[in-house]
Amino acid sequence: MQLLEVMNMDNLVLHSREGEQGADGRMIRKELTRRQAIGYWKGDFAKYEINDKDEPESVVGTVRIVS
């Protein structure tokens, strides 16, 4: 994959392929960083789904006394 191919991709495609390993993934992450630095967005905006369900309270870091 060439740098010009990465620069022609829209942001949704780049974000979906952000976790790739190797040279392609490096170019994708570098292009995303470049676009964030200059405030450039290409393509549609991502659609996010808001989850309003209550999550159980975390017990991490709490002390339990076992007798």
* Residues 6 or more apart whose Cβ sits within 8 Å of residue 28: 6, 9, 14, 17, 18, 20
Question: Tens-digit pLDDT profile for the chain (67 aa)?
Answer: 788 899 899 888 998 999 999 999 999 999 999 988 888 888 776 666 777 777 778 888 888 888 7
Residue ranges covered by each domain of the chain: 3-38
Using CA atoms, how far apart are residues 8 and 26, in angstroms rounded to an integer? 16
Q: Which amino acid is at 18?
A: E
Using CA atoms, how far apart are residues 16 and 18, in angstroms rounded to an integer? 6
Give the global pTM.
Answer: 0.61
Looking at residue 57, its pLDDT comes to 82
Closest CA to 35 of 66, 57, 64, 8: 8
Question: CA 6, 7, 13: angle at the middle one, nearest 5?
Answer: 60
